[in-house]
Each structure stands twice: as structure tokens, then as C-alpha cells.
Amino acid sequence: MTFATPLFLLGLMAVAIPIAVHLFHFRRYKKVYFSNVEYLEAIQSETRRQSRLRQLLILAARILAIVFLVLAFAQPVIPNKQSTLQQGSNDVSIFVDNSFSMENTDGNQPLLEIAKEKAREIVRGYGQTDRFQLLSGDLEGRQFHWLSQEEMLVAIDELEVSSASPTLAEVAQRQFDFVRSGSGANHSVYYISDFQSSIADLEEMPEADGIGVTLVPLAATAMDNLYIDSLALGAPAFYKGNNVTAQVWVRNDGDENLEKIPLSLYLAERQRALAPVDLPAHSTTMVEMHFTIEESGVLDGRVELVDYPITFDDRYYFSLNIRDRIRMLIVEGHGNNEYLQRLFGDDEAIALNTVAANQMDYSHLDEVDVLVLDELSSIGSGLAQTLHSFVDQGGTVVVVAAEQADATSYNAALASLGAPRLGSWNSGRVTTARVDLDNTLYTGVFSGRWENMELPTVTGYYALRSDGSTLRQPLITLANGDDYLCCTPSGDGLLYLVATPLRDEHTDFVRQALFVPTFYNMALYSVRPTPPATSLDSRQPVPLAAQYDDATGARLQGDDYEEIPDLLRSGGHYSYVPHGSLQKAGNYHTVLDGTVLEGLSFNYSRRESQMQFLTPTALSQRLKASGREGYSIIKNAATPLDTFLRKQREGRQLWRWCVVLSLLMLLAETALIRLPHKQPKANEKP
């Protein structure tokens, strides 16, 4: 046992007062005359024994009353043997889960309100000299500073539901780093949450290492939920007149099978597709929805269904940025290539221009998306430098080697881009052994792997050489292991190298079914695609396809929202860098000088859609299995946490019991004083 204020124990000397009173108290007797003194001796003897006992009991009551009163002021405490806290101030960080799942109720009260009250109880369990941090799922920069007790209580009152849903490990890492920077003698961290299974990655949480970590689970109820999980579109770029297939994944997290649930797709505020969906319990179903693009420019889209009571995930927003045409330039070194002309000449999505090699104007390459160098006899230093700049800023170059090419000039240009170089010219018939169907270039081209697919053969080609500085992705490989077609990423762009001329005398590739998707997708992928949708909790840069000559005046706008976007430039392209200020799902536009450049769509994280929660028992088991030391769980959150924390931090305080016992002793003294004297009966003999 210890005492919070041991100097008060000096007050125990006050017990000498009732002892002195007892020893020096002489009762003055008065004479009483009796007519019959037969029983006098017995009466006197009996009264004396009763009086002595009564006085001793009164003395004991007075002494104990003083002792317990002094102990109450000294504040005796039975220390918590398991506590590792040191003397000094406390740095306390409290995480309050404010995600969508905290709108769930326990009785008639939202879980977030219960969590806020628990946070207040924790704050009241500490002293006014302690420092506090309030952290929510938003992980905002302004939350990473210390607050006084009063400021902390105000911050708790202002907390609201947010779309952010970081995992516990993400929160813990940032929380631990901040708390360790504090100057307090003790560091304590609290997590008040419904501990949704999808975010409770307890196995990934950092080691406590001297930080007291306490989990406060709230009583959340598992709920059935139907929601749109994700969406994918079947092409890298879109044009007016395209027939588009949207693949929509819908999840049924309920215990019942659902039939004929209507799923609607809207584009430019018009319903373009409707599909009834059958969803077995606890399953995900992919639904294909088909529509035709009838407009150009920026198109806002969404897919939606109806489900209650959880509605935040019933809509999935997406954007389509419809370009007029892809700008392609073919530089001819061996005359007109009929196969490239047939493929691209009459295509509405391709704006094709051709020019002879000796008439090429390098100054207009900024107006080109994809550049095809078809059988040039040589690549001069000026063109090589222009190619390097063009590819570095996001352009796509297709190099079709000529049979009598100047290998030295070719290799100088290819080496500057990190591409393979031309080796010796090989004659003889060689078949194709492999096509890399997993490459992005062939995404959505084949529904399966064609084991009997007709593959091209070559009768003359260049062996492509590589060294340690070469970066290449083989797309079509010959039976002898040489590359026929390979791709090299360089800067923000791509370079494709074909090891043989695209003519009948050298290859039958131009007559194979594989030729069309290969070269057509080279053109499609020359335009940097903007993803149709992004999660609000993502912090990864979102690539932008539009040209921003001066991005300083750009704005990101949505319904009742506008911000100055953080745009990151890389080469000739920009990316939008999310920084957490955007909180509402929907369709947004980048705007420059009043002109809408492209659309961006953001959706709430689907982690919050899985309405399963960990019980205190499950939390304890997972913490034990992961070997996490220093973590504790408050299994009965209904207990007032301020009282619990004081007892846990300071031990069991006994001063209240001392006050009660002191009052009981005073009551006993009063009762003993007022207790009537017992007299012997008349017929009783001594």
C-alpha cells in the first residue's frame, strides 16, 4: 500500500487526545441514600464492570475515527502491480473511428455518439497538466498537434462522420510516431471503434514498445448489405460511336439469395442500360452492361441500385473522356505501306497523315499522338534527338526496321531510348513461338488462350541485341528465342520495335488476324488513359490525359465543391494528387479558363461496405495469435472509463472507504454514549 499524501500521516498523533481524555477523566460521584443496602455491593460491582467496558469501546471508536480520518487525507492506494506507468505527465492519443459504419446504432444512439462520450471519459480520467491528441479516420494534418484537456473536449464535440476508412495499422503507425515525439513520462494510445473486420488488420499493427495501447470495442451489429463493388470498361480509349461494355461487380453480403435486382447505368444523365441481377447469398456477381457513346467531350456516368438501410455504396461513379480522334503520323522511307493504310486510313477514330522521310517537319510533333517510322534508311541525329524528347513527354513511336537500314544510325537512336539495337540481318524461314497475351497491349483482345491460333512467320529479320542498359518487353517471340516485336517504356512514352519490314516478302504477319489488334492497340494506347474511377481513400496520383499548357489556373469542380488541384508534372503530362480534402463521392471536372478539360470520378471505399465486426473475444484472440505485447482490451465498454482508467493508472484508491469507516466509528461512539445503563432486577441476587 502507498499513500498519495503521506505527510498527513502525522495526524495520527491526534489519537493521543482521546487516550488522554480517557486516562485523566475522573467522574464525580454524588451521594445517594438507600433505605435498604442489602444489594448495594452487587449493584456497584456490576455497574463498574459495565462502565469500564463501555469506556474502552468508546475510546476505541474515537481512536479509529481519528485514524480513518487521517488515512482518508493521506489517500491510501493499493498499487496496480501490472502497471508500468512512471511518475510524471501523460501524453495521450485517442483515435475515434468516424467512418460510415459508425452510423450504426446501439439501441437508439449512433455508435459515433457513444464513441465520443467514451473519448470524453478517457480525457476526464487524466489530469489538467496532461496533453492530448484526437485522431479520426481523416488523418488530417491539423490533428497532429497536442491539445489541452479543455481543447480536447471541444475537438471531440466537433467530430463528424467521414468517408475516410484507413486500416488500424495505418492509423497506428502515424499515431505511434507522433506520440513517441512527445515529452511526457508516459505514452498512452486508445482506439474507440466498432472494429469492422475489413479495417481491423491487427496483425499489421506495430509493436507497442513502451506505449500503453488500449482497444475500446463498441457493440456493433452485423448487417446485410448489397452494394456495387467495382467497375471496369473494355477499352483503353473511347470515341464517339464506340460500343462499350461495362463490367460491373455487385456484392451481396446478406444471408438471403436475391433475384432480379435492377441495376441501372446512366451516362450524361440518361439511362443507357438496365440489367436484372440474381445474387446468391455472400457472393459477388459480374454483370455486363452494353451502351453506345453518342456524344463527345466529358461524359459523367454512374451505375446504381436500391438497397436499405446502407445506401452510401449503392452508386458507383465513372467518367468517360471522349476524344475526337487519335493523331497518327506515318513517316515513309520505302513508299506507301498498303497494310497500314488499310488499317488506319478509313478509321473514324484515327486522324492519319503520311509524309516522306525527307519532308518530315520536326516542329509539328507536338500535334501527334503516335509516330510510325516505316522503313527509314537511317535515323539522323536531329531526328534521334526529337524522338527522345517526343517519347519522354508521353508520345508513342513505332519503328519498323528497313532491310537495308543504316544500323549505326538506328542503334544510336535506339540506345538513347534504352531500346534493343539492330544486330545482323538473318535470312531463312522462322515461325513464331509465343505471343505475350498478358501484356497490356492485348487486354480484352482474346477471351481465352488460343492454343491453335495462327501465328506469323518471317523469312528475314534483324536479331535484336541487348545489354545491361536495355529495357524491353517481348511481345512476339520467334521459335529460336529472338524477339520479333518488343516494347520499351521510356520517360512517359513507349517505343515499339519491329525486327522486319511489314511487307509480304519478309513476313506474313500483315495477313494474320493478330496484326490488326496489335497495331490498332498501339494507336489506342498512345493516348494516356484517365482511369474511369478512383477511390476517395487513395493517395496515388491520378493520370490526366488532357493538355495543360498552363496548369496554374486549373480548378477541380463538382457539385457545391471547388478546389485548386495539386497537379504533378512528369514529362509532358500531369497527374492529380489527392490530398484528402475531397470527401464526397461523385463526378468532378478539371476546368481551365472556364473550359472543361476532363472528368474525374471518385467513389467511397468499399471497405466500409462489409458490415462484419470483431467482438472483444475475437479481438483478444487475434492479438494473442499475432503476438502483440502491450495491447489491452476493455471488454465492458459500458463501464465509465474515467473511473476505470484512474484505477488502472493509479491503483485501487481507499480514501472513500476510510471516510465511510471514520463516520461509522463516530456513529458507534454516539450509540455507545447514548446506550442506557442496564440495571439488575429486584429479585436478582448477587
What band does 674 get if pLDDT is binned at 50, 70 and 90? confident
Q: 411 in a domain, yes or no?
A: yes
What band does 402 get if pLDDT is binned at 50, 70 and 90? very high
Tell me: the pLDDT tens digits for 476-526? Answer: 999 999 999 999 998 888 999 999 999 999 999 999 888 999 999 898 888
Name the β-bridge partners of 370. Answer: 328, 396
Both 299 and 359 in one domain: the answer is: no
What band does 275 get if pLDDT is binned at 50, 70 and 90? very high
Residue 381 CB neighbours (<10 A): 11
Taking CA atoms, 552 is separated from 299, 329, 543, 600, 679, in Å, by 24, 31, 17, 18, 107
Give dist(CA 498, CA 637) in Å, integer.
68
Please give the model's pTM, rounded to 2 decimal places.
Answer: 0.72
In which element (H, E) is residue 520 found?
helix 515-524
31 pLDDT more than 70: no
Both 235 and 209 in one domain: the answer is: no
Q: Is 438 helix (H, G, I), strand (E, B) or coil?
A: coil
Query: Which domain-ending residue is among 290, 317, 344?
Result: 317
Structural domain containing residue 40: 2-79+654-674
Both 160 and 265 in one domain: the answer is: no
Both 213 and 147 in one domain: the answer is: yes
Residues 387/398, Cβ–Cβ less than 8 Å: no
Q: Which residues of 420-431 are buried (b: 16+ CB within 10 A; e: fewer)?
A: bbbbebbeeebe
Q: 563 in a domain, yes or no?
A: yes
Lowest mean pLDDT among 9-23, 152-166, 197-211, 272-286: 9-23
Average pLDDT over residues 271-287: 94
Both 354 and 468 in one domain: the answer is: yes
Read off the amino acid at residue 65. Answer: A
Both 358 and 466 in one domain: the answer is: yes
What is the rounded average pLDDT for all residues in the chain? Answer: 85
Q: 497 in a domain, yes or no?
A: yes
652 pLDDT more than 90: no
Give dist(CA 653, CA 2) in Å, integer.
10
Strands (E), 269-369: 270-279, 283-292, 297-304, 315-322, 326-332, 350-356
Both 658 and 646 in one domain: the answer is: no
Give dist(CA 256, CA 291) in Å, integer.
31
Tell me: the pLDDT tens digits for 191-234? Answer: 999 999 989 898 888 888 888 899 999 988 888 899 999 999 87
Q: Is 655 helix (H, G, I), strand (E, B) or coil?
A: helix
Both 387 and 511 in one domain: the answer is: yes
What band does 26 get if pLDDT is binned at 50, 70 and 90? very low
**What's the CATH number where 458 sits?**
3.40.50.880
Q: Is 110 exposed, middle or buried (0-12, 13-18, 19+ CB in 10 A)?
A: middle
Handedness of CA 129, 130, 134, 139 (dihedral sign): positive
Both 275 and 210 in one domain: the answer is: no
Tell me: the pLDDT tens digits for 34-70? Answer: 666 665 555 555 566 777 787 888 888 888 888 888 8
Q: 278 in a domain, yes or no?
A: yes
Q: 683 in a domain, yes or no?
A: no
**What's the CATH number where 288 sits?**
2.60.40.10
Q: Take residue 289 and report the three cell numbers written for it.
A: 452492361
pLDDT value of position 319? 94
Q: 246 in a domain, yes or no?
A: yes
Q: 85 in a domain, yes or no?
A: no
pLDDT value of position 501? 94
104 pLDDT more than 90: no
Give me the DSSP letters along 368-407.
-SEEEEES-S---HHHHHHHHHHHHTT-EEEEE--TT--H
Name the β-bridge partners of 319. Answer: 300
Q: Is 214 helix (H, G, I), strand (E, B) or coil?
A: strand
Tell me: the pLDDT tens digits for 222-264? Answer: 888 999 999 998 776 788 888 889 999 999 998 999 999 999 9
**What's the CATH number where 135 sits?**
3.40.50.410
Both 489 and 367 in one domain: the answer is: yes
685 pLDDT more than 50: no
396 pLDDT more than 80: yes
pLDDT value of position 686? 45
pLDDT value of position 354? 93
Give dist(CA 119, CA 634) in Å, integer.
13
Q: What is the dihedral of CA 359, 361, 367, 372, to 10 degrees?
A: 50
pLDDT value of position 462? 94
On the CB side of 566, how many CA atoms lie within 13 Å of its CA?
9
Total of domains in the chain: 5
Give dist(CA 582, CA 531) in Å, integer.
17
Taking CA atoms, 288 is separated from 111, 249, 498, in Å, by 38, 9, 36
Both 629 and 644 in one domain: the answer is: yes
136 pLDDT more than 90: yes
294 pLDDT more than 50: yes
Query: Which domain-ending residue is among 317, 345, 368?
Result: 317
Average pLDDT over residues 434-451: 74
Q: 402 in a domain, yes or no?
A: yes
486 or 662, greater pLDDT: 486
Average pLDDT over residues 557-563: 90
Query: Which domain-ending residue is among 586, 603, 620?
Result: 603
Both 158 and 287 in one domain: the answer is: no
Give dist(CA 446, CA 466) in Å, integer.
30
Q: Take residue 416 and report the three cell numbers written for it.
A: 538513347
587 pLDDT more than 90: yes
